[in-house]
Amino acid sequence: MTITSRIFYMTAMPSDAGDTFLEQVRQERRLALSIAEIAAAVTSIRDDSAAMQQLVTRTRTLLGVDMAYLSLNDEAAAHTRIVETDGVWTSEYRDLRMPLGAGVLGRVAQSGGPVQTYDYASDAMLVHDPEIDRIVEAEGVRAILGAPMRIAGRVIGALMVANRVAHRFDDEQIFVAQTLANLAAVAIDNTRRLDELTDAASRERARAEELSAALVTTQRVVDADDALVETIASSGGLAELRDGMTRALGREVRLVDLTVRYDIRDAAAEIGDAERPLIALSARSGAAMNSSDEAGDPFAVMAAMRGDEPVGAVLVDGVLAPGDEVVLQRCARMLGAYLSAQDRERGDLARRRRELVDLLLAPPPSGLAPVAVRQLGDYGVREGEPFRILVGTGSDASLRDFDHRLELDFGLALLRTRVEGEVVCIVPERAFVQIERELEGPGTRRRGGLLVGHSPALHMLDIVPEEFALVQRVLDAARKSEHPRTLVSLLSYGAIGAFLSRVTIEPTKQAIADTIGPLIDYDREHRTALCDTAAAYLDAGHSVARAAERLLVHENTVRQRLERIEALLGEGWSLGQQGLDHHIMLAANRLVGE
């Protein structure tokens, strides 16, 4: 049933029934998205612990539990061993080996169906072991649910979830856990079968050319799967996914993301009116669409789907061979899964990034904790290595476009968040070089009034709060002076900016107070704008008309303010050496004043 027909069908229902139906559709959609994500993550589970870690992490997020872990059976040793965990605190629990049949894990690993316990310690139906009970108690585990992973009727391990409070898991949680366990088992089985097929092909290559060709195609499909797994595991973006698919197809791949208004980097292809109908046809047919461009060169388009909705497309040049079409279809599935995974992860990752940036901008008196320093290192921000603070300000549309540009360029690997309506980034120097090229390279232009202020290259984490405040002052000065460039810093203000970037700030602030302190005090006490007026008047070459135009006030208002300024600073304040001193200190006050 299409989305349109679902909506039509739902509107014909009574209100209560429609709400129930809508909730069912949402649940189906959540489960479908989760299955797509898990399917990608476990593709390389046979030898990639990062892929198995993805499985348990996503299981924990989906079911909303305190911990999740995966075990594999060792029939020769008659025990099951935990191989990957998420949310587990103690090393003893992570390294747990459970005899088959003992505890919840042992029972699941030996049984044919899900097993749960309301409260492990008090469950007399379980086979308890004193040492294992001690480890479980130390972890604080109470409620446990496990689902067996089966291959050809044989249990090979279990997918487990647990909470640190006593309760019963409902039917939906049991169903989802078993579904994910089944999916993991199928992926493990497929991987083992691929290994067996690879060995057989190596022995029989001379006598089995068709088998070899099928193996090559299968391996290319696996390479396409690996491109998604590697991208998710490394928090990469469209560029990494595109490069992996290019390797799998053996030709240049262009990716289209239909979930955004437009893409602004090379990793995402721009499409025109000729390609959009092809994407729609591919979405309806489930097959690649072949066409030719204006020069007559052939190309193919395969839609990437999220349920019944096309969310992107994979484009390749040239004529497709039979094996190419299979790989292209898999690449499109991987792109759909990637875009879906990005949607699910965006909120949680944004919250984590915000917490880390807040901690860096306002660290505790004792300094950053080692775990915070380690998390910053994951984003390439390390003590002793150059990094910069970037702050973007402008209209909502320009900030959304800027944030989207950063996501396309750097994926989830860039530390950025929103702070009081501004986009704040803490980036390593190598990332800043790319951002600077994007914003200030040949042919670039201002978009929607976007201004991006940046610090000089920093090497110490404890000076970030002070440098952040300075960047905000630079942005404020750029806004007031209608700075023509997108990327601004202290050096954007010529000699005064270069001077301020090389001096100690506190003595400079004292010099500002000594020179224009009466104006600053008067503005603070009366909520006036004498400092801005004096600066605008000097910037305009003593022209009242131009100063009024810049300040968006009447000329008489400027004259009245100038009279007050003269009363505070003295006659001749704008002339000769006095005028130069006041002009310099007004410019400095814009950048580093209180």
Residue 495: the pLDDT is: 47
Q: What is the DSSP letter of 262?
A: -
Using alpha carbons only, give the angle 316, 317, 323 rounded to the nearest 5 degrees.
65
For 404, how many CA atoms within 13 A lie in the half-sphere containing its CB? 16
Residue 432 and residue 427: Cα distance in Å, rounded? 6
| Residue 427 β-bridge partners | 388
- Which pLDDT does position 66 carry in this prediction? 96
Q: In Å, how far are 162, 397, 467, 470, 490 from 454, measured between CA atoms? A: 45, 21, 9, 9, 8
- Return the H-helix or E-strand segment holding 99: strand 97-99
In the chain, the largest separation of any two C-alpha atoms, in whole Å, equals: 102
CB 317 within 8 A of CB 251: yes
Q: How far is CA 169 from the centre of its chain?
A: 31
Which residues neighbour 155 within 8 Å (Cβ) at sequence distance 6 or greater?
73, 109, 110, 111, 112, 148, 149
Q: Where are the domains of the chain?
A: 42-195, 208-344, 362-500, 505-592
The CA distance from 227 to 40, in Å, is 9
What's residue 3's pLDDT? 44
Which fold would CATH assign to domain 208-344? Answer: Beta-Lactamase (3.30.450)
What topology does CATH give the domain 362-500?
Alpha-Beta Plaits (3.30.70)
Average pLDDT taken over every residue of the chain: 81
Task: Encode 466-482: b = buried (16+ Cβ within 10 Å), e = exposed.
Answer: ebbebbbbbbbbbbebe
pLDDT at 461 (0 to 100): 93
Per-residue model confidence (pLDDT) at position 4: 44
pLDDT digits (tens, 9 = 90+) for 281-332: 999 999 999 998 888 889 999 998 988 888 889 998 888 887 788 888 888 8
Yes or no: domain 42-195 corresponds to CATH 3.40.80.10: no
SS3 content of the chain, % helix, strand, coil (to 5): 55, 15, 25
Angstrom distance (rounded) from CA 44 to CA 36: 15
Taking only the tens place, the pLDDT of each residue in 29-56 is: 766 676 666 666 666 555 556 667 887 8
Q: At what angle do helices 396-410 and 238-249 cross, to 10 degrees?
A: 40
CB 198 within 8 Å of CB 227: no
Tell the residue number behind the tokens 């484009």, with chain if given: 315
pLDDT < 50 regions, the chain: 2-4, 6-8, 10, 262-266, 495, 498
SS (HEC) of 133-170: HHHHHHHCCCEEEEEEEEECCEEEEEEEEEECCCCCCC
Contacts of residue 166, Cβ cutoff 8 Å, sequence gap at least 6: 118, 119, 142, 143
Please indicate whether the domains covering 42-195 and 505-592 agree at the CATH topology level.
no
pLDDT of residue 354: 92
The reported pLDDT for the residue numbered 40 is 64
Q: From CA 585, how far away is CA 578, in angstroms rounded?
A: 11
* Range 505-592 has CATH code 1.10.10.2840: yes
